[in-house]
Chain A
Amino acid sequence: MVQVINLTKRYGQHIAVDNVSFTVDKGEILGFLGPNGAGKTTTMNIITGYLSATEGSVKVDGFDILEEPEEVKKRIGYMPEFPPLYMDMTVQEYLNFVSDIKKIDRKTRARNLDRIMDMIKIGDVRKRLIKNLSKGYKQRVGLAQALIGAPQVLILDEPTVGLDPKQIIEIRNLIKELGKEHTIILSSHILPEVSAVCERVLIINKGKIVASDTPENLSRRLGDTGRLSIRVAGPEKQVLKLIGGLAGVKSVESTGAREPGTVDILVEAEKDIDVRRPVFYALSRAEYPILHMKPIDLTLEEIFLQVTTQEREVS
């Protein structure tokens, strides 16, 4: 459905997108994961025809964005990072205007808009001025705008950024729902977010694609950090000495005492060794009760570090 071939975008000397290629199949929900400045927005702006690539090409449904931009744009609904809203219009006026510029037939328009407003749940604010809406509602109007004209492909740039947790869940469910009828490319800088809705994830860093996999495989590959955070009721020195002497423990350090009479420690295990059981037995034998023990998730930076080093090891 969407083919991106050797896409490169340079701003002067700075390379924002570096020779990126991928395809998205019809009906797929693809997640675009990367930290800020990775080149997600730039790539999306190029696919939608807002920016032009320095090199490479984009094809949507077989049409090239440079050669037949109109055909491509008809097939894409785009929700940019900042919803492109006219603050001086009401929601209804705005959606009518978008229908106008997308050349939607006037006869079917009212019905289509009603359906979209129903689905996105913005019917009750249709008469309100956009500038008076809350951030969550603005985001939804931005999404409604992208849905006008029933485009086959939806491109959503960080659709949940700046929303509160309840709104995030609503928008995610909405995206899953939309995924039944549309091909979706969605960007995010939060791993759980793409895992929650996407069937496939592309990880992009510094303009390059560093991994492409299903969310399950990625979390399997990345889930095991080998690091544990443990709170022990016992004296710091002895605990550190005890754990440090265990086989398979690479390092251990104290991160301070949060409760009186306890110590929080960070344990790092050797590669591919599970030290949870030995740690438990050692501490219980010494009668230092474990108050909690939890694995430490990778931060996004570590994910990129890990993915990039893994890729390097493979190649």
Chain B
Amino acid sequence: MLAVLRRELRAYFLSPTGYIFMGFFLLLSGFFFTYSNLFQANPSYLGVLGSITFIFLIVVPILTMRLMSEESRQKTDQLLLTSPLSVTGIVLGKYFAAVGVFLITLLITCLYPIILSFFGTIAVWEIIGGYIGFFLLGSAFISIGLFVSSLTDNQVIAAVVTFSALLFIWIMDWVLSGLPTDRVSGIVFACMLVAGVAALVYFSIRNIYVCAAVALVGLGIVAALYFTNEFFFDGLIVRSLEWFSLLKRYDNFSMGILSLSPIVYYISFSSIFVFLTVRMIEKRRWS
């Protein structure tokens, strides 16, 4: 894992990618810092962190687009996958390299609050808390980018799809408010989920009987839930999609509150996408 991580970090700084990411990030964050803290003589740095989260939308695709896709394009994945490394080790090495570049960039932005501290006292612990949240939020986005780059061997496609996925997460809260919350739509949604899973099963193993069995079991669970706890379906759509609402959980950090549950949430979110990436690569071998 360390060897992959080292190589990946080197690659970031031997190609323009690492510098573009850092440059873009520092430029935008510097602009917001200058504008809202320096010009307005405002000592609240957390506000800056909160308002620059949109940068992820642009810089995360740059950072993650070539992670896995370039390996399959250059066929170097043959080297990695036939070496004694585990797939998990390879994927984690890549993930931590991207997160590492992000972390280095973030450490540079620590200069801003240090500049602020010359002008007066700053809320040190709150800012550290805010940074932790910001870092975890970014890492979760990076995990999405990592996963997307394992789906294609084309960097541009990886970047565009990552951007769209992040954009979707951005507008989610807004979309959520417009979604139906009644029981019937919840049941319909649950049935669609079952159909989706069954279709996925069919396309991965191409066995209609297994697929039908999965669909039946899924529908059975839906029916059982309906007869035991029909309230389960009230607002199911919103509750399911809220799981993806990464930004909402950042609100706490933005207010300077450091609590455990969003930290756990971000870490599990990233772990799930790292895991999905591993599964994706394993699955390719079987296809």
Q: A: which residues have CB within 8 A of B?
A: 11-12, 45, 48-52, 70, 73-74, 76, 78, 80, 82, 84-89, 97-98, 100-103, 145
User: Contact partner of A88 among B15, B77, B81, CB < 8 A?
Assistant: B15
- Whether a CB of chain A sits under 8 angstroms from the CB of B132 is no
B3-47 CB mask vs A (1 if < 8 Å, else 0) is 110110001001100000000000000000000000000000000
- Whether a CB of chain A sits under 8 angstroms from the CB of B167 is no
User: Contact partner of B83 among A11, A12, A45, A73, CB < 8 A?
Assistant: A73
Question: Which B residues touch A98, using CB under 8 A?
Answer: 79, 83
Tell me whether B82 and A70 are in contact (CB under 8 A): no
Instruction: For the complex, give the distance between the alpha carbons of A51 and B281 in Å.
Output: 10
Tell me whether B75 and A73 are in contact (CB under 8 A): no
Question: Which A residues touch B76, using CB under 8 A?
Answer: 84-86
Instruction: For the complex, give the distance between the alpha carbons of A100 and B8 in Å.
Output: 13
Tell me whether B3 and A97 are in contact (CB under 8 A): yes
Minimum CB–CB distance for B103 against chain A, Å: 22
Tell me whether B74 and A80 are in contact (CB under 8 A): no
Tell me whether B11 and A88 are in contact (CB under 8 A): yes
Nearest opposing residue in chain B for A70, CB measure: B84
Minimum CB–CB distance for B18 against chain A, Å: 12
Instruction: For the complex, give the distance between the alpha carbons of A149 and B285 in Å.
Output: 25
Tell me whether A48 and B287 are in contact (CB under 8 A): no
Tell me whether B84 and A84 are in contact (CB under 8 A): no
B110-138 CB mask vs A (1 if < 8 Å, else 0) is 00000000000000000000000000000
- What are 20 A-B contacts with C-beta separation under 8 Å? A49-B82, A50-B81, A50-B285, A70-B86, A73-B82, A73-B84, A78-B82, A84-B74, A85-B74, A85-B76, A86-B7, A86-B11, A87-B74, A98-B83, A101-B3, A101-B4, A101-B80, A101-B85, A102-B83, A102-B84
Question: Which A residues touch B15, using CB under 8 A?
Answer: 88
Question: Which A residues touch B75, using CB under 8 A?
Answer: 80, 82, 84
Task: From known contacts A86-B7, A88-B15, infer whether A103 and B79 are also in contact, taking CB-CB under 8 Å.
Answer: no
Instruction: For the complex, give the distance between the alpha carbons of A103 and B14 in Å.
Output: 25
User: Which B205-264 residues have C-beta < 8 A from chain A?
Assistant: 206
Task: From known contacts A11-B287, A52-B285, infer whether A101 and B84 are also in contact, taking CB-CB under 8 Å.
Answer: yes
In addition to A45-B78, A100-B2, 17 A-B residue pairs with Cβ atoms within 8 Å of each other are: A11-B287, A49-B81, A52-B285, A74-B84, A84-B74, A84-B77, A84-B79, A86-B74, A88-B11, A97-B3, A98-B83, A100-B3, A100-B6, A101-B3, A101-B80, A101-B85, A102-B83
